[in-house]
């Protein structure tokens, strides 16, 4: 009996490997209103690292961010589930959140989704920039912008 085999699907995650610095704006919060969802924007800065765990099946993503004046730190595990035929992500942050995402990739765009948040991550053609657009909603409400960031690979 053989165990899991690393596949081309696993290797597609290689685009994330490295250290990234991100800047942008965060819009989400209890005061956010649909009529002007970007009105209360605060700055976002972060340093983020993606690296393969031993074996090359799972990727570790850690971040250390400042959102406005608040620290935002966390860990994410990304991988590919052969039996499900898709990518997944499990995040854990210092606010006690632990969402479970499914992910798809089409060309250079990765889409991460779960019930109340979703993201489109667009990789530049040279692989040195990520544009991240996150959205969120409360209950069955409309999707609102959560944050817009650009991450640049650190050489």
Is the CATH code 3.40.50.1980 the one for domain 8-26+41-153?
no
Average pLDDT, the chain: 94
pTM comes to 0.92
Tokens of 40: 């209360």
Q: For residue range 96-151, what is the model confidence (pLDDT) as tens digits?
A: 999 999 999 999 999 999 999 999 999 999 999 999 999 999 888 889 999 999 99
Q: Distance between CA 11 and CA 14 in Å, rounded?
A: 5
Q: Which residues contact 43 (CB under 8 A, 6 or more apart)?
A: 23, 24, 25, 26, 66, 67, 68
């Amino acid at each position: 009996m053989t165990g899991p085999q690393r596949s081309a699907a696993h290797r597609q995650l290689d685009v994330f490997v490295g250290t990234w610095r991100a800047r942008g704006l965060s819009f989400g919060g209890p005061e956010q209103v649909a009529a002007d969802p970007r009105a209360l924007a605060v700055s976002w800065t972060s340093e983020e690292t993606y690296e393969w765990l031993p074996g090359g099946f799972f990727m570790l993503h850690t971040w250390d961010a400042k959102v406005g004046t608040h620290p935002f730190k966390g860990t994410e595990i990304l991988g590919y589930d052969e039996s499900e035929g898709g990518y997944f992500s499990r995040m854990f942050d210092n606010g006690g959140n632990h969402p479970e995402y499914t992910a798809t990739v089409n060309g250079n765009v990765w889409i991460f989704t779960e019930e109340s948040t979703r993201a489109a991550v667009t990789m530049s053609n040279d692989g040195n920039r990520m544009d991240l657009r996150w959205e969120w909603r409360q209950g069955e409400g409309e999707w609102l912008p959560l944050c817009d960031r650009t991450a640049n690979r650190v050489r």
